Amino acid sequence: MSHQLDALRALTTVVADTGDFETMRAYQPTDATTNPSLILKAVQQDAYRPLLDRVLRDHPAAPLAEQADRLLVAFGREILAIVPGRVSTEVDARLSFDTQASIERARQIIALYESAGIARERILIKLASTWEGIQAARVLQAEGIRCNLTLLFSLTQAIACAQARVTLVSPFVGRIYDWYKKTAGADWNEAANAGPNDPGVQSVAHIYRYFKAYDIPTQVMGASFRNIGQIRALAGCDLLTISPALLGELAACTDPLPASLTVADAKANAPEWLASNEVAFRTQLNQDAMATEKLAEGIRIFTADAAKLDAMLGQTA
């Protein structure tokens, strides 16, 4: 009997949001995406410790930043042996406000993959959707290095990414939901804010419709889900990156799953066209309390986990 995970695959490219190889083998996603938090969690498990040990054994004198990138690439190579598509590998979040340093680290990551025989077409470089990160992506895309702009919480960020011709954007459904729920406090009505009424779902749906209405080639990948209702409400989105627990819930459900997002509907209900430049980007982002706060918080979290990973590398060396 068919289940909702199979039905979703017919509508959307399914991406595994995990660093766990066995989960990928079990659910057979097309792509996979990682971040510093996921890699940090993985290397603390016995099953993945050999990857860390191998990097330190083979490159004991390498600078810490290079060792960290080699560890990320080691995970990426293992993932690409499992998934048929692409893997996203993240540039150090501590560089989120440094365009040139982000470009240089991205080039280094791609060089490490290519030296291992992995074509750059199978790699997506993840960068935070700051103005500086987006401008780094503009340069990298022009060099044939495909980018995935993450920590994205607003249409303002998405439009700037589209203008930079990035390959893919990852708007964060769950973290938007978290902000609105926390802000509402005791007034939050879960039932009234579920499914298509979920503020995180609405944000991603708006970006999807904007891109499709104006034939913008940048792909939209919904990320950071809290429940399968959010996933169902975005069925039809270009890609969805989903945690192991929610992949399991979808695989256990046999209810029908119709498309919630379609190109035809987007074109029939085109949003207003919006111009964008640096001043507009910074002004609009500053006026959006949710997007501003969640972007800053996300960078802080990824920065903290990158530092923990550095400490682990330093202590083990």
Active site residue 294: no
| Residue in 126, 182, 294, 308 annotated catalytic | 126
Tell me, rounded to whole angstroms, the distance of Cα 164 from its chain centroid. 17
The single-letter DSSP state of residue 33 is E
Distance CA(34)–CA(214), nearest Å, equals 30
Distance CA(188)–CA(181), nearest Å, equals 6
Find out whether 134 and 171 touch, Cβ atoms under 8 Å. no
How far is the CA of 93 from the CAs of 126, 165, 297, 300, in angstroms? 10, 21, 11, 8
Distance CA(22)–CA(132), nearest Å, equals 36
What number of CA atoms fall less than 13 Å from residue 279's CA on the CB side? 0
The single-letter DSSP state of residue 32 is E
Buried b (16+ CB within 10 A) or exposed e, 100-110: ebbbebbebbb
What tokens were used for 133? 């990160």
The single-letter DSSP state of residue 223 is B
Other Cβ atoms closer than 10 A to 52 = 21
195 sits in the region (left: phi over 0; alpha: psi -120 to 50; else beta) called left
User: Which residues carry out catalysis?
Assistant: 126
